[in-house]
Amino acid sequence: MRILIALVSGLLFGIGLALSGMASPDKVIGFLDVAGNWDPSLAFVMGGALLVATPLYLLAGRRGVALCGDTLGEPEQTLVDRRLIGGSVLFGVGWGLVGLCPGPALLDLFAQPLSAGLFCAAMLGGLLLSRRD
């Protein structure tokens, strides 16, 4: 059941990204260009996502378990430290420079395999580096 839920969730996420145009780096960069030719469409996509996700989040919180049966709880790490801030800054810089974040990058592997593939390889490299102690 867990695999089916993950498959359906990923499929819905990918279709939503594709239909909204948010897999396009140009759309993301247009949203981030607040001093130039700003494109507010990403804000509407985020707002729509919040409208759908909020009631489901509240329902899951009341149930105490996810659809797949996993228990829900608080994250183990809640400290705002240099590592969290540094990672957030790097994520933002990468997002602003390239216009891709992990979800759209994976979707773009099909549309632009070379550029998205390089991005995904670098992203995986960064993930592996971050797990080193």
Q: Report the distance separating Cα 89 and Cα 99, nearest Å.
A: 15
Query: What is the number of other CB atoms lying within 10 angstroms of the CB of residue 87?
Result: 13
Kindly report the length of the chain: 133
What does the pLDDT average to over 4-14? 88
Total number of domains constituting the chain: 1
Domain hosting residue 60, numbered range: 2-130
pLDDT in tens, 69-109: 888 877 888 899 998 899 899 888 888 888 888 888 888 88
Residue 58, burial from CB neighbour count under 10 angstroms (0-12, 13-18, 19+): exposed
pTM above threshold 0.95: no
pLDDT in tens, 40-62: 998 998 899 899 889 988 888 88
